[in-house]
Amino acid sequence: MIKTGLVGGAESTAAQLMRLLLHHPDVDLRWVIDAAHAGQGVAQVHPALVGETDLTFCDEPGEQQWQGMDVIFLCDSNVADTAWLEQVPPSVRVIDLSPRYRLTDEQTSGFTYGMSEINRRRMVHDCMRVTCPGDVAMSLSLALIPLAKNLMLNSELHATVVMGNALSTTGSRVSMVEPEVLSDQVQELRRVLSSLQTSFASPIHLTAMQACFARGMLATVYFKSGIDVPMVRQLFEQYYDDHNFTFVIDHAPQLGDVAGTNKCLIHISREGDYLRLTSAIDQTVKGTVGTAVHAMNLMFGLHERAGLML
């Protein structure tokens, strides 16, 4: 069993992650840290976990608790800093769900970018620290990386993302995401595409909206291209053939098809001179906690689908 700890346990992301870890056949979740709730039961703070765990939040792990640990998940960027990480024994792997290390160089930070669709081999071989992708960058990257791999992104990209926001209190059905909030996601997407196609230098125009549904993310990106749809589909099917969660489909994806799963569904179409790619994910799973668990599976030599057949 993989002995596991979690830091930042009061975060909503942590509740989703704990649910996956508690039901993972190869994981033993030993402790959950959140100083503000130390002594409280995890299920008191996250009622959705009532009946699933008797764990109690702790302040911070002592020397005895670190003994024998295999991996910790960081759900709070406030603790994902150098000073805190120095306390982690070198034998313990770290998976960070915060945005702190997404734009850093691996040689500088020590964190591998945790998108299995481009870095699976790296995570399988002696990887000790992983930073998980942002959900917007994830949804758009999956729709573009087969083309970047084949050096086919040579014009400006126009992308629109609609995401669920169950906690919205704006009173409106749809609200725009501020451009400054998206800037890091655009940089992250550019880094992913440039890592596969070093010549990629096209502008990326991104608009994102939050809508009043609980979960799901629909991303559409279009750009000028002379490649026909059958050829693009063949490239996508070849690229994702040995990946376990990304699939090309014949019709426009529906959010209900991916809700609660670790899948990404991609549809390819054309309008005039423009190629259009649409991807659908559940941003709380494939866009966040599912990716973290997927990374853990790779780091410990488990089957990629372990604990993720949702």
CATH number at 180 reads: 3.30.360.10
Residue 307 domain-assigned?
Answer: no
The boundaries of the domain holding residue 266 are 135-283
Residue 97 domain-assigned?
Answer: yes
pLDDT for position 180: 66
Residue 100 domain-assigned?
Answer: yes
Instruction: Examine the domain organization and report whether 125 and 146 are in the same domain.
Output: no
Note the pLDDT tens digit of each residue in 82-105.
Answer: 667 888 889 999 999 999 999 998
Instruction: Examine the domain organization and report whether 180 and 67 are in the same domain.
Output: no
Note the pLDDT tens digit of each residue in 149-189.
Answer: 999 999 999 999 998 875 444 444 556 676 666 889 999 99
Note the pLDDT tens digit of each residue in 194-207.
Answer: 999 999 999 999 99
Residue 108 domain-assigned?
Answer: yes
Instruction: Examine the domain organization and report whether 166 and 118 are in the same domain.
Output: no
Residue 304 domain-assigned?
Answer: no
Amino acid making up residue 24: H
Residue 106 domain-assigned?
Answer: yes
269-298 in b/e form (b: 16+ CB < 10 A) is eeeeeebbbbbbbbbbbbbbbbbbbbbbbb
Residue 246 domain-assigned?
Answer: yes
Instruction: Examine the domain organization and report whether 168 and 109 are in the same domain.
Output: no
pTM attached to this predicted model: 0.93
Instruction: Examine the domain organization and report whether 108 and 149 are in the same domain.
Output: no
Q: Are strands 2-7 and 217-224 parallel, antiparallel or unpaired?
A: unpaired
Residue 308 domain-assigned?
Answer: no
- Going across the sheet that includes 264-271, the strands are 174-176, 204-211, 157-164, 217-224, 274-281, 264-271, 246-248
Q: Mean per-residue pLDDT for 72-85?
A: 75
Instruction: Examine the domain organization and report whether 70 and 164 are in the same domain.
Output: no
Percentage of residues of the chain with pLDDT beyond 90: 75
Structure-token pair, residue 237 = 């099917």
CATH number at 29 reads: 3.40.50.720
Count of structural domains within the chain:
2
